[in-house]
Protein backbone atom coordinates (compact mmCIF):
# COMPACT_ATOMS: atom_id res chain seq x y z
CA UNK A 1 0.00 0.00 0.00
CA UNK A 2 2.82 2.41 0.90
CA UNK A 3 4.45 1.77 -2.47
CA UNK A 4 1.17 2.58 -4.25
CA UNK A 5 0.76 5.81 -2.28
CA UNK A 6 4.34 6.85 -3.05
CA UNK A 7 3.84 6.14 -6.76
CA UNK A 8 0.64 8.20 -6.79
CA UNK A 9 2.34 11.11 -5.02
CA UNK A 10 5.26 11.00 -7.47
CA UNK A 11 2.92 10.96 -10.47
CA UNK A 12 1.01 13.90 -9.05
CA UNK A 13 4.20 15.88 -8.47
CA UNK A 14 5.38 15.26 -12.04
CA UNK A 15 2.06 16.38 -13.48
CA UNK A 16 2.11 19.52 -11.36
CA UNK A 17 5.68 20.32 -12.43
CA UNK A 18 4.81 19.81 -16.10
CA UNK A 19 1.84 22.14 -15.81
CA UNK A 20 4.04 24.79 -14.25
CA UNK A 21 6.56 24.80 -17.11
CA UNK A 22 6.19 27.73 -19.52
CA UNK A 23 4.73 26.83 -22.88
CA UNK A 24 7.18 27.18 -25.75
CA UNK A 25 5.66 27.87 -29.15
CA UNK A 26 6.99 25.89 -32.07
CA UNK A 27 8.78 27.73 -34.85
CA UNK A 28 6.76 28.46 -37.98
CA UNK A 29 8.69 27.32 -41.05
CA UNK A 30 8.33 29.22 -44.34
CA UNK A 31 9.34 27.15 -47.35
CA UNK A 32 9.20 30.09 -49.78
CA UNK A 33 12.83 31.26 -50.25
CA UNK A 34 11.57 34.85 -50.59
CA UNK A 35 10.57 34.82 -46.91
CA UNK A 36 14.17 34.83 -45.67
CA UNK A 37 15.91 38.20 -45.33
CA UNK A 38 18.84 39.27 -47.47
CA UNK A 39 22.36 39.27 -46.13
CA UNK A 40 25.25 37.00 -45.29
CA UNK A 41 24.27 33.75 -43.59
CA UNK A 42 26.84 31.77 -41.60
CA UNK A 43 26.88 28.09 -40.72
CA UNK A 44 25.62 27.08 -37.29
CA UNK A 45 28.36 24.63 -36.31
CA UNK A 46 26.13 23.09 -33.63
CA UNK A 47 23.61 22.04 -36.25
CA UNK A 48 25.75 20.87 -39.16
CA UNK A 49 26.74 17.36 -40.18
CA UNK A 50 28.48 15.69 -43.08
CA UNK A 51 28.22 11.91 -43.12
CA UNK A 52 30.21 9.71 -45.51
CA UNK A 53 29.42 6.14 -46.53
CA UNK A 54 31.53 3.56 -48.38
CA UNK A 55 31.07 -0.11 -49.20
CA UNK A 56 33.56 -2.04 -47.06
CA UNK A 57 34.82 -5.29 -48.64
CA UNK A 58 31.32 -5.85 -50.01
CA UNK A 59 30.02 -6.72 -46.55
CA UNK A 60 28.65 -3.45 -45.17
CA UNK A 61 28.02 0.20 -45.90
CA UNK A 62 30.48 1.73 -43.47
CA UNK A 63 29.46 5.17 -42.23
CA UNK A 64 31.42 7.91 -40.48
CA UNK A 65 31.29 11.69 -40.22
CA UNK A 66 33.26 14.80 -39.54
CA UNK A 67 33.41 15.86 -35.91
CA UNK A 68 31.10 18.58 -34.65
CA UNK A 69 32.68 21.97 -35.25
CA UNK A 70 34.85 20.74 -38.13
CA UNK A 71 32.66 22.42 -40.76
CA UNK A 72 32.39 26.17 -41.35
CA UNK A 73 30.91 28.26 -44.11
CA UNK A 74 28.65 31.02 -45.33
CA UNK A 75 26.71 32.34 -48.29
CA UNK A 76 25.47 35.69 -49.53
CA UNK A 77 21.70 35.68 -50.01
CA UNK A 78 19.25 37.86 -51.91
CA UNK A 79 15.64 36.61 -51.68
CA UNK A 80 14.88 38.32 -55.00
CA UNK A 81 17.66 36.30 -56.67
CA UNK A 82 18.16 33.09 -54.65
CA UNK A 83 19.88 31.32 -57.54
CA UNK A 84 22.64 33.96 -57.45
CA UNK A 85 23.74 32.79 -53.99
CA UNK A 86 27.43 32.07 -53.52
CA UNK A 87 28.27 29.29 -51.08
CA UNK A 88 31.65 28.73 -49.45
CA UNK A 89 32.37 25.78 -47.12
CA UNK A 90 35.57 24.79 -45.30
CA UNK A 91 36.15 21.49 -43.47
CA UNK A 92 39.00 20.56 -41.17
CA UNK A 93 40.22 17.37 -42.86
CA UNK A 94 41.81 16.09 -39.65
CA UNK A 95 38.59 16.20 -37.61
CA UNK A 96 37.15 12.80 -38.55
CA UNK A 97 34.72 11.07 -36.19
CA UNK A 98 34.49 7.27 -36.38
CA UNK A 99 33.97 6.90 -32.64
CA UNK A 100 37.51 5.52 -32.28
CA UNK A 101 40.14 8.21 -31.58
CA UNK A 102 43.12 6.29 -33.00
CA UNK A 103 41.20 5.49 -36.19
CA UNK A 104 40.01 9.11 -36.41
CA UNK A 105 43.64 10.27 -36.43
CA UNK A 106 44.66 7.66 -39.01
CA UNK A 107 41.84 8.52 -41.42
CA UNK A 108 42.26 12.26 -40.95
CA UNK A 109 46.03 12.62 -41.16
CA UNK A 110 47.61 9.56 -42.83
CA UNK A 111 48.77 10.13 -46.41
CA UNK A 112 46.95 6.93 -47.48
CA UNK A 113 43.64 8.45 -46.39
CA UNK A 114 42.63 12.14 -46.06
CA UNK A 115 46.24 13.33 -45.73
CA UNK A 116 45.16 16.19 -43.49
CA UNK A 117 48.73 16.72 -42.30
CA UNK A 118 49.70 17.95 -45.77
CA UNK A 119 46.27 19.24 -46.83
CA UNK A 120 44.46 20.33 -43.64
CA UNK A 121 41.48 21.96 -45.35
CA UNK A 122 38.75 20.59 -47.60
CA UNK A 123 36.88 23.37 -49.41
CA UNK A 124 33.77 23.71 -51.52
CA UNK A 125 33.01 26.89 -53.47
CA UNK A 126 29.79 27.04 -55.46
CA UNK A 127 29.84 27.84 -59.16
CA UNK A 128 26.16 27.32 -60.02
CA UNK A 129 22.86 27.19 -58.14
CA UNK A 130 19.79 25.61 -59.74
CA UNK A 131 16.45 24.53 -58.28
CA UNK A 132 17.33 21.42 -56.29
CA UNK A 133 21.00 21.42 -57.38
CA UNK A 134 24.23 22.99 -56.15
CA UNK A 135 27.40 22.69 -58.22
CA UNK A 136 30.81 23.78 -57.05
CA UNK A 137 34.52 23.13 -56.94
CA UNK A 138 35.55 20.63 -54.27
CA UNK A 139 39.20 20.73 -53.22
CA UNK A 140 40.32 17.62 -51.34
CA UNK A 141 43.90 16.37 -50.86
CA UNK A 142 45.12 19.28 -52.99
CA UNK A 143 42.98 18.30 -56.01
CA UNK A 144 40.03 20.35 -57.26
CA UNK A 145 37.09 18.74 -59.08
CA UNK A 146 33.51 19.85 -59.86
CA UNK A 147 30.82 18.24 -57.71
CA UNK A 148 27.03 18.53 -57.94
CA UNK A 149 24.81 17.99 -54.90
CA UNK A 150 21.09 17.35 -54.76
CA UNK A 151 19.75 19.95 -52.34
CA UNK A 152 16.46 20.38 -50.53
CA UNK A 153 15.61 23.76 -49.02
CA UNK A 154 13.87 22.92 -45.76
CA UNK A 155 12.81 26.46 -45.02
CA UNK A 156 13.29 29.61 -42.99
CA UNK A 157 12.16 29.99 -39.40
CA UNK A 158 12.19 32.39 -36.49
CA UNK A 159 12.58 30.40 -33.31
CA UNK A 160 10.90 31.17 -29.97
CA UNK A 161 14.39 32.03 -28.69
CA UNK A 162 14.86 34.95 -31.10
CA UNK A 163 17.16 33.27 -33.62
CA UNK A 164 16.62 32.94 -37.36
CA UNK A 165 17.44 29.79 -39.31
CA UNK A 166 17.67 28.67 -42.92
CA UNK A 167 18.00 24.90 -43.24
CA UNK A 168 19.07 22.57 -46.02
CA UNK A 169 19.53 18.85 -46.66
CA UNK A 170 21.80 17.58 -49.42
CA UNK A 171 23.11 14.34 -50.87
CA UNK A 172 25.85 13.60 -53.37
CA UNK A 173 28.50 11.17 -54.51
CA UNK A 174 32.19 11.53 -55.28
CA UNK A 175 34.85 9.15 -56.55
CA UNK A 176 37.72 9.30 -54.11
CA UNK A 177 40.18 8.22 -56.80
CA UNK A 178 39.48 11.54 -58.55
CA UNK A 179 41.32 13.14 -55.63
CA UNK A 180 44.24 10.71 -55.56
CA UNK A 181 42.69 8.70 -52.72
CA UNK A 182 43.06 5.16 -54.07
CA UNK A 183 44.01 3.18 -50.96
CA UNK A 184 42.16 -0.18 -50.89
CA UNK A 185 40.09 0.51 -54.03
CA UNK A 186 38.09 -1.55 -55.04
CA UNK A 187 37.92 -3.54 -51.79
CA UNK A 188 36.67 -0.35 -50.19
CA UNK A 189 34.46 1.39 -52.73
CA UNK A 190 35.72 4.21 -54.90
CA UNK A 191 32.28 5.81 -54.64
CA UNK A 192 31.66 7.79 -51.45
CA UNK A 193 28.07 8.76 -50.63
CA UNK A 194 27.62 12.12 -48.92
CA UNK A 195 24.72 13.13 -46.67
CA UNK A 196 24.58 16.73 -45.43
CA UNK A 197 22.33 18.48 -42.90
CA UNK A 198 23.01 22.17 -42.25
CA UNK A 199 21.50 25.25 -40.66
CA UNK A 200 22.59 28.84 -41.20
CA UNK A 201 22.00 32.00 -39.16
CA UNK A 202 22.29 35.69 -40.17
CA UNK A 203 25.82 36.97 -39.72
CA UNK A 204 26.11 39.12 -36.60
Task: State mean pLDDT over 155-178.
Answer: 96
Task: State mean pLDDT over 182-191.
Answer: 98
Task: State mean pLDDT over 7-30.
Answer: 53
**What's 188's DSSP letter?**
B
In the beta sheet, which residues pair with residue 191?
A: 175
Task: State mean pLDDT over 163-178.
Answer: 98
Residue 26 in this model has a pLDDT that exceeds 50:
yes
For residues 143 and 182, is the Cβ–Cβ distance under 8 A?
Answer: no
pTM of the model: 0.86
Residue 48 in this model has a pLDDT that exceeds 80:
yes
pLDDT score recorded for residue 27? 75
Residue 15 pLDDT grade (very low, low, confident, very high; cuts 50, 70, 90): very low
The pLDDT mean for the chain works out to 91
The DSSP line for 38-82 is SEEEEEEEEEEEEEEEEEETTTEEEEEEEPTT-EEEEEEE-TT-G
Residue 143 in this model has a pLDDT that exceeds 80:
yes
For residues 156 and 163, is the Cβ–Cβ distance under 8 A?
Answer: no
Encode pLDDT of 105-119 as tens digits. Answer: 999 999 999 999 999
Phi, psi of 123 (to 5 degrees): -130, 150
Q: How far apart are CA 89 and CA 83, in angstroms?
A: 17
Residue 197 in this model has a pLDDT that exceeds 80:
yes
Residue 23 in this model has a pLDDT that exceeds 90:
no
Q: Going from the N-terminus, what domains does the chain have, and what CATH number goes with each?
A: 28-202 (2.40.128.110)
Residue 1 in this model has a pLDDT that exceeds 50:
no
Amino acid sequence: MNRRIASALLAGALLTASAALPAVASAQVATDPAAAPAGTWTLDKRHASLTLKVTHFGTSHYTFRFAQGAIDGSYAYDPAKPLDSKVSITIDATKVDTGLPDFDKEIGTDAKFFNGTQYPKITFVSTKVEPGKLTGDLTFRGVTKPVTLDVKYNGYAKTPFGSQIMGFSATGKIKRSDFGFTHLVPMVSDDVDLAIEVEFNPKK
